[in-house]
Amino acid sequence: MPTLDLNGDRFHYHRDDFSDPWRHDAPVMLHHAAGGNLHRWRPWVPTLARDRPVVRFDMRGHAGTETSLSQPFELEDLASDIARVLDALAIERTHLVGASAGGIVSLRFAHDFPDRLLSLTLVASTPRLAQMGANMDAAPWRGILEQQGTRAWLLADTDKRFGPDTPDEIIQWYADEGARTTAAEVIALQGCLLAADLTPLLSDISTPTLILAASHDDITPVEIQRLMVERMPNAQLELYDGVGHNMKVEIPDRLASRTLEFVRSIEGNA
């Protein structure tokens, strides 16, 4: 298992590159969601890595990443972890893709480290997790995690997380991967994210941004997607029907291809 030793913290990461050896394109970094890990991005890799290097890592406290820090999660630290991984891999600038909670961290990174970014893609994400849809209640999450664990939490409201036609094997795989992270770590991260509100920072994030969202998503509702487009100076929104909050594992080929198209367009305008 490839790891980066960053001052006592050991980050599990993968770097995939099947691009033409004479090309030197900027990499894409993929940042997963709460209770996820780098394997959630696996279906995206063939599309992206044929074109350029792809970097993905387990965020602190998740799956294969071990950290020496015992204090609660802080959003600024999570954003700094992205910079630390980039530094360790000698990457000056990257295209960053964040999904759900990973998108929240990526938004903070875009604000704190704008010079490290070429573009930002957000997949079913939000600047304020507490602002969910009327049909979504996060109150039971902690109890489910404490009593039944991460896997049960991820399966508790699959009707809110997936579209109606998602095969059961995808849902079960998604839950099995989530079980690699302890409930205590997910609870700690949720506490951080539910308390965060990045809305006041949006107008300062000028990185070219592609927002990919589900038309019906109670966790990151459409109104919050439109708010980001209104507040961010250089953002565009695309909505997808028939999928849920976990659209990145429902339609990975479609979203990876669209992300790559966006990345290429940014580089073409540079």
Task: Spell out the residues 6+ positions from residue 193 whose beta carbon is closer than 8 angstroms to its own.
Answer: 34, 75, 101, 104, 129
Percent of the chain residues past pLDDT 90, beyond the cut: 85
Query: What is the rounded distance in angstroms from the CA atom of residue 102 to the CA atom of residue 222?
Result: 18
pLDDT over 80 at 67, yes or no: no
Contact in structure between 81 and 11 (CB atoms under 8 Å): yes
Buried b (16+ CB within 10 A) or exposed e, 96-117: bbbbbbbbbbbbbbbbebeebb
What does the pLDDT read at residue 270? 56
Mean pLDDT to the nearest integer, 127-132:
92
What does the pLDDT read at residue 69? 57
Q: Where is average pLDDT lowest: 59-68, 162-171, 189-198? A: 59-68
| 3-state secondary structure at position 14 | strand
Helices 101-112 and 75-88, packing angle to 10 deg: 70
pLDDT digits 0-9 by tens, 217-233: 999 999 999 999 999 99
What does the pLDDT read at residue 133? 82
Mean pLDDT to the nearest integer, 30-42:
95
Contact in structure between 215 and 240 (CB atoms under 8 Å): yes
Closest C-alpha among 20, 29, 22, 14 to residue 259: 29
pLDDT digits 0-9 by tens, 77-106: 999 999 999 999 999 999 999 999 999 999
- 162: enclosing H helix or E strand: none
β-pair partners for 235 = 209
Average pLDDT, the chain: 94
What does the pLDDT read at residue 71? 59
pLDDT band at 134, cuts 50/70/90? confident
pLDDT over 80 at 162, yes or no: yes
Contact in structure between 217 and 245 (CB atoms under 8 Å): yes
Total tally of structural domains belonging to the chain: 1
Task: Spell out the residues 6+ positions from residue 228 whose beta carbon is closer than 8 angstroms to its own.
Answer: 122, 126, 127, 202, 209, 211, 235, 237
Conformation bin of residue 45: beta by default, left when phi > 0, alpha when psi is -120 to 50: alpha
pLDDT band at 72, cuts 50/70/90? low
What does the pLDDT read at residue 197? 97
What does the pLDDT read at residue 138? 82
Q: Kindly report the CATH number assigned to the domain that includes residue 255.
A: 3.40.50.1820
CB atoms within 10 A of CB 68: 10
**Range of 136's domain?**
3-269
- 166: enclosing H helix or E strand: none
Mean pLDDT to the nearest integer, 52-68:
90
